[in-house]
A = this chain, B = another copy of it.
Amino acid sequence: MGQEFLNIMDPEDVKKIIEDIPITKRVENVSLEDSLRRVLAEDVHATINLPPFSRAAMDGYAVIAEDTFLASEDDPVRLKLLELVEAGDIPKKSLIRGFCTEVSTGAPIPEGANGVVMVEFTNKSDGDILIIESSAIGQNIAKEGSDVMAGELLLSEGSRITPDKIGVLSAIGMIMVPVYRKPRVAIISTGNEIIGHDEELTYGKIYDINSQTISSAVRSCGCIPLQTEIVKDDYNALKEKITEIEDVDLIITSGGTSAGTGDVLREVLDDLGVVLVHGVAVKPGKPTIIGKLDVNDNIFLFGLPGYPVAALMVFHVFFAPFLRKMASINTAVNLSDKKLLNMELSRRYHPARGRRHYVLVKVEDNKAVPILKDSGAITALAKADGFIEVPKNVEILEKGMIVEVFPLGDL
């Protein structure tokens, strides 16, 4: 009747085993456009000064500040207008005492000028400009390199590239961006009863759920899911499939892990490598399995339970942090990664005894409502917004207590 579980392990010990798995990071260059949501693989230093030239920070008149020191509304200073320099123009004339140059915001400051008087503090008179407020030296001028000097560190390795960081890279005209390559994850759904969506649903069969679910969860963790076909719960078929997969960083299977008739994954792993985890003290998700292969570049294989709810919960709790780490996402400072929400529990709830229990909840009226379905139920997933974690020795969760809700949506 198949093999027994290796040794039911404490969930925290399983997390530690996963944390210790070594990760190989690879770098690739992508276009600036495609770098959104990726993670910088190298420090980025400024290649130019910013601003690249001294420019006007306001619309107004570039002046020699000393000319304006006595200017006031009652006693304006009259300056001759040399020329108009708009943003993008190049000043043709240097400024000398008694003259000014009209500049628009972003225009280069003409040689000799050391201040810009805002247009609001000027008047026109017979083609001359009347200055009615003095300018301090450097006023309304953004000096070349005052924001960033060429060579300065702009963004550090490990930064998540969000729209604002795209702006930073644009400012120095970066076209290709070095980012960590997305890890490649092969996904195998096992089970004799599982059929693809393109097949006819005959008696005794069910549509493959986990391939697409885990595939999209893998993608949400910043990895590339490689969907391989469905494999029968057959020792040779599964062994052959696992052996023939190439150029991936991880294999994730679902199904075939129960200690029952169909338990072939454990046997295959025993032969192809070493089983590190088989059985975890959580509900749902007890039949979780983790192995390290001797074939296939010694990559790891994570085996999820076959039931969709159990598979997704185990993925969230144990595997998603590792996938994000592989994708370098967890190392990035990113406020929106902190997504735990504290909510009131809507009703009294009796968790499972003896195992850490992950309970799906929906959110109604800003309260967490436990979903009372087993892990085979699709309706549980249809209704769920998140889940809560209940330690194994808790007998009862009282109505109204505050629980931490982990959102299911974005991994």
Interface residues of A (CB under 8 A from B): 1-2, 32-33, 36, 48, 50-53, 57, 59, 84, 86-90, 102, 104-108, 119, 142, 147-148, 154-155, 160, 162-175, 191-194, 197-198, 201, 203-217, 219-220, 232-233, 258, 260-262, 306, 308, 312, 333-336, 338-339, 341, 363, 373-374, 376-379, 381-382, 384-386, 405, 407-411
Q: Please state if A333 and B51 are interface contacts (CB–CB under 8 Å).
A: no
What 8 A-B pairs are tightest by C-beta distance, nearest first? A88-B192, A59-B260, A335-B407, A88-B193, A167-B213, A104-B261, A162-B409, A87-B193
Contacts of A306 in B (CB 8 A): 105-106
Pick from A160, A167, A215 the residue with the most CB of B within 10 Å. A167
In the complex, how many angstroms separate the beta carbon of A369 from the nearest chain B beta carbon?
12
Q: Please state if A379 and B148 are interface contacts (CB–CB under 8 Å).
A: yes
Pick from A86, A106, A201, A210 the residue with the most CB of B within 10 Å. A106
Q: Please state if A193 and B260 are interface contacts (CB–CB under 8 Å).
A: no
A104 closest partner in B (C-beta): B261
Given A192-B87, A212-B166: A51 and B206 interface contact (C-beta under 8 Å): yes
How far is it, in angstroms, between the C-alpha of A346 and the C-alpha of B321 when the chains are bound? 30
Given A203-B108, A335-B386, A409-B335: A163 and B50 interface contact (C-beta under 8 Å): no
In the complex, how many angstroms separate the beta carbon of A143 from the nearest chain B beta carbon?
12
Q: Please state if A175 and B197 are interface contacts (CB–CB under 8 Å).
A: yes
Contacts of A88 in B (CB 8 A): 191-194, 204-205, 232
Given A163-B312, A341-B335: A207 and B89 interface contact (C-beta under 8 Å): no
Q: Please state if B312 and A164 are interface contacts (CB–CB under 8 Å).
A: yes
19 extra A-B contacts, CB within 8 A, seeds A52-B205, A170-B207:
A1-B119, A2-B59, A33-B215, A36-B219, A51-B376, A105-B260, A106-B206, A154-B379, A164-B408, A166-B212, A167-B209, A167-B212, A167-B308, A167-B378, A168-B381, A169-B212, A170-B197, A173-B201, A334-B407
In the complex, how many angstroms separate the beta carbon of A402 from the nearest chain B beta carbon?
15
How far is it, in angstroms, between the C-alpha of A217 and the C-alpha of B161 when the chains are bound? 11
In the complex, how many angstroms separate the beta carbon of A90 from the nearest chain B beta carbon?
5
How far is it, in angstroms, between the C-alpha of A204 and the C-alpha of B339 when the chains are bound? 44
In the complex, how many angstroms separate the beta carbon of A405 from the nearest chain B beta carbon?
7
**14 pairs, CB–CB < 8 Å, chain A vs chain B:** A36-B220, A57-B376, A87-B204, A89-B204, A108-B204, A162-B410, A164-B213, A166-B216, A167-B312, A170-B212, A173-B197, A335-B363, A335-B405, A336-B336
